[in-house]
Structure 1
Amino acid sequence: MIFNVRASIFKDPQYYINSKPKLSCSNSPPTEIKIDKNNSRIIAVGDIHGDFHTLLHALYKAKVINKNSEWIGGATIVIQLGDQLDKGGRGSISVDHTNDSVEELKIIEFLHNLHFQALANGGGVYSLIGNHELMNIMGDFRYVSPLHIDGFGGYEQRKELFKPGGALAVKLACNTNGIMKIGDWIFVHAGLLPEHIENFTLGNINKIVRDILLGKTNMNNIGPEIYDLMFNQNSLFWNRYYTIDTNPEKCKILNKTLNILNIGKTGGMVVGHTPQKHITSGCNNKLWMADVGMSSAFGSKNNNSDRVEILEIINNGKIINVI
């Protein structure tokens, strides 16, 4: 399927290379969104990994954009679960037939532009930070395709743009969250555990993420508590606790987490990060795993719709569909 996208919404990487970003956010996205629990629609989109066409196809399949890539979703709230970056680094399975060296930047800018179209209609388009965004912030480009390195003017230029306080790090800081609560649903890249919210509120977590991206945090002296929250293997951006071998003990931990956050009976948690064959649920539908490896970073596809799945949550979870 061919989508038309208005070229004027995209900025050339040179724009960001030449810019001097303001190291603050005047209008960052909210941590929590209240919804009409009897008349609402949420669409969750899993990891994109640099595949702009797959993102468009997912949004079209969710009936929130048309073939001209314009918002038609009304009051629908879309949330993308992170990992918008990094289309390479997976050996021979990674393919890229687009020859589009700025595809990642298009994803970031398109979702930002679509958000304002959605807001005008009572909806919204929100993005989360994933571990691959954090890897780029820290200068770890192992999973960046060579084409996308070139698209940003080479390794050093990409590093400059994504470093804490760099132009694209600031753009991410001001337009994404680490975690969101929409109605009675928690959306997070890898998974939220009780230990993450023993000493931090969801708002605290988003401020910590934002300050790191803005370059306000001394990364040489962040302390073990924040390091564990952000960067270790059990962090909310990296852990696979719920998504590998989901079992009753893990469901107890999930329910403990949800109870701490006063999540209602029809609510739950939606995560990405760990690819599944299909969008999968666990813990009596309190847990939904929405990463299905949609990107061509995970190999060739048979057709446009191959592997593209999204999660639809109607009326705060009274109805849940895999589309």
Structure 2
Amino acid sequence: MPGTMVRPPGFNVQQMAARPVAVHWRGSLEAAMLVLSLLVLPCLAASDRVVSVADLHGDFGHAVAILRAAGLIEEGSNESLQGPDGRPFVRYKGARWIGGSTTLVQTGDMVDRGTYARDLYALFADLRQQAAAAGGQVVNLFGNHDLMNLQGDLRYVSPEDEADFGGAAARRAAWAPTGWVGRQILEEFRAAFLAGDTLFVHAGLLPEHVEHGVDQLNEKFFKQLRVSLSGSWGANTELLKSTGPLWLRRFATGPEARICSQVAKALELAGAKRMVLGHTQVDNGVVRLRCGGHLVMADTIISQDGYPMCWQPGSLQAEGCQGSLSYVEVRDGEAVAVRLPPAGGAEGEALEVTPLPVKTPIGAGEL
């Protein structure tokens, strides 16, 4: 059930019961890729608190509602705020990071379907800098739609999104490797991220993806991305294809009897105990566990802007989908799913907090 949360001091997921808990809320391509070739993307050691947010698809209002509810930001009020292109933002008026040492992971797909991806990329660019200065971290992962836009595949770009960028030409300039959106994605985004014992990725990681660890996966991903953006495709771009970390559906849709051994092996190689995914939607608005809790499906169709049919009354029965505002939080090795009150809920409504336990090991008796 879904707003802005006042988190009690000493908040500890281990104190939560299994039932919902009421928490009241008050240059050139070559130059750009040279940076990537020199960039080392370290994994995070066990952190005090990690919050992850799945696919946003252009819904700025819902993104801000989640970040406020998680106690990570306060909204600004700069009505004259402009982007690097000199155009004012429609929704983004600035924001202040108040998350301290928290690590925030956005697991990809901020763009397409909805309207305000431009504002979202600006928001997260600001938060990355502010969080780092405060001892925290904001990590953005590639989603398949972020990749598609870099590659010029604009099938899912809404007319409203194009207009928000100032038209087709202005949008192309922003998404170019040296444009203000394209450059930040190439320099700052990652394919996967390991925070303590939790592995974050957009769609899923097979054992062969993490055979040599998450850092080497990221390095290999960017090498292959450079190849694809130069116009070349082939066997040396397998991480960008349908079984890669941005597109994989197998873990979300395959029978557990088949996929859980692969999940277990990938986690073992990565040094993790759970994998948190976006990409494949859960149709009822509730974060879903698979493989004894080792796989967390967190895409609860956050974007009302992109999927209005899933946000209508009775949409689960009529359309087979129901959106909700949610995030996953990990603290001291324990994870919970947090769901906000429905959009438009009254001030003071409670958050719904549900533990996401892990059974160890993954085995036939555990599924």
Query: TM tier, shorter chain?
Result: 0.7 to 0.9
The code of the aligned residue for 1:41 comes to: R
Is the Cα–Cα contact under 8 Å of residues 46 and 80 in structure 1 kept in the other structure? yes
Of 27, 32, 35, which aligns to 2:43?
32
Between stretches 275-284 and 239-248, larger displacement belongs to: 239-248
Structure 2 residue aligned with 1:129: 142
- Distance in 2, Cα, partners of 1:29 & 1:66: 31
- Distance in 1, Cα, partners of 2:125 & 2:39: 12
TM-score, length-scaled by structure 2: 0.69
Kindly indicate whether residue 88 of structure 2 is the aligned counterpart of residue 78 of structure 1: no
Which secondary structure state, in structure 1, belongs to the residue aligned with residue 73 of structure 2?
coil
- Distance in 1, Cα, partners of 2:206 & 2:178: 29
Query: What do residues 14-39 of structure 1 show as CA deviations (whole Å, max 9, x unaligned)?
Result: xxxxx878524389683401124xxx
Kindly indicate whether residue 236 of structure 2 is the aligned counterpart of residue 230 of structure 1: no
CA drift of 1:284 comes to 1.5
CA drift of 1:175 comes to 1.6
- Distance in 1, Cα, partners of 2:336 & 2:267: 18
Between stretches 292-301 and 23-32, larger displacement belongs to: 23-32
Structure 1 residue aligned with 2:60: 52
Is the Cα–Cα contact under 8 Å of residues 81 and 129 in structure 1 kept in the other structure? yes
Is the Cα–Cα contact under 8 Å of residues 29 and 176 in structure 1 kept in the other structure? no
Change (3 A) 1:212 1:171: farther
Kindly indicate whether residue 271 of structure 2 is the aligned counterpart of residue 262 of structure 1: yes
Of 182, 187, 199, which aligns to 2:200?
187
Query: What do residues 62-90 of structure 1 show as CA deviations (whole Å, max 9, x unaligned)?
Result: 121235442222221110000011025xx
The code of the aligned residue for 1:30 comes to: L
- Distance in 2, Cα, partners of 1:320 & 1:29: 30
Structure 2 residue aligned with 1:105: 118
Structure 2 residue aligned with 1:252: 261
What is the percent sequence identity of the aligned residues?
A: 29
Is the Cα–Cα contact under 8 Å of residues 29 and 177 in structure 1 kept in the other structure? no
Output aligned runs, 1:169-208, within 5 Å: 169-198=182-211, 201-208=213-220
Is the Cα–Cα contact under 8 Å of residues 329 and 337 in structure 2 kept in the other structure? yes
- Distance in 1, Cα, partners of 2:178 & 2:133: 30
Change (3 A) 1:190 1:129: same
Change (3 A) 1:115 1:221: closer
Change (3 A) 1:217 1:247: closer
- Superposition RMSD in Å: 2.9
Change (3 A) 1:172 1:134: same
Structure 2 residue aligned with 1:320: 336
Is the Cα–Cα contact under 8 Å of residues 246 and 282 in structure 1 kept in the other structure? no
Is the Cα–Cα contact under 8 Å of residues 151 and 229 in structure 2 kept in the other structure? no
Which secondary structure state, in structure 1, belongs to the residue aligned with residue 51 of structure 2?
strand
Is the Cα–Cα contact under 8 Å of residues 64 and 71 in structure 1 kept in the other structure? yes
Is the Cα–Cα contact under 8 Å of residues 83 and 131 in structure 1 kept in the other structure? yes
The code of the aligned residue for 1:76 comes to: T
Which secondary structure state, in structure 2, belongs to the residue aligned with residue 322 of structure 1?
strand
The code of the aligned residue for 2:55 comes to: D
| Structure 1: unaligned runs, 5 residues or longer | 4-18, 89-95, 97-102
Is the Cα–Cα contact under 8 Å of residues 81 and 130 in structure 1 kept in the other structure? yes
Structure 1 residue aligned with 2:49: 41
- Distance in 2, Cα, partners of 1:144 & 1:298: 13
Change (3 A) 1:158 1:205: farther
Is the Cα–Cα contact under 8 Å of residues 141 and 190 in structure 2 kept in the other structure? yes
TM-score, length-scaled by structure 1: 0.77
Which secondary structure state, in structure 2, belongs to the residue aligned with residue 32 of structure 1?
coil
- Distance in 1, Cα, partners of 2:290 & 2:238: 26
Change (3 A) 1:289 1:67: same
Between stretches 119-128 and 54-63, larger displacement belongs to: 119-128
Name the count of aligned residue pairs: 282
Change (3 A) 1:118 1:161: closer
Of 269, 277, 281, which aligns to 1:271?
277
Which secondary structure state, in structure 1, belongs to the residue aligned with residue 276 of structure 2?
strand
CA drift of 1:137 comes to 1.2
CA drift of 1:283 comes to 1.3
Of 60, 65, 73, which aligns to 1:65?
73
CA drift of 1:302 comes to 6.2
Change (3 A) 1:222 1:234: same
CA drift of 1:253 comes to 1.0
Change (3 A) 1:167 1:72: closer
Change (3 A) 1:121 1:29: farther
The code of the aligned residue for 2:307 comes to: F
CA drift of 1:212 comes to 5.8
CA drift of 1:166 comes to 4.7
- Distance in 2, Cα, partners of 1:41 & 1:127: 16
Change (3 A) 1:58 1:28: farther
- Distance in 2, Cα, partners of 1:174 & 1:184: 25
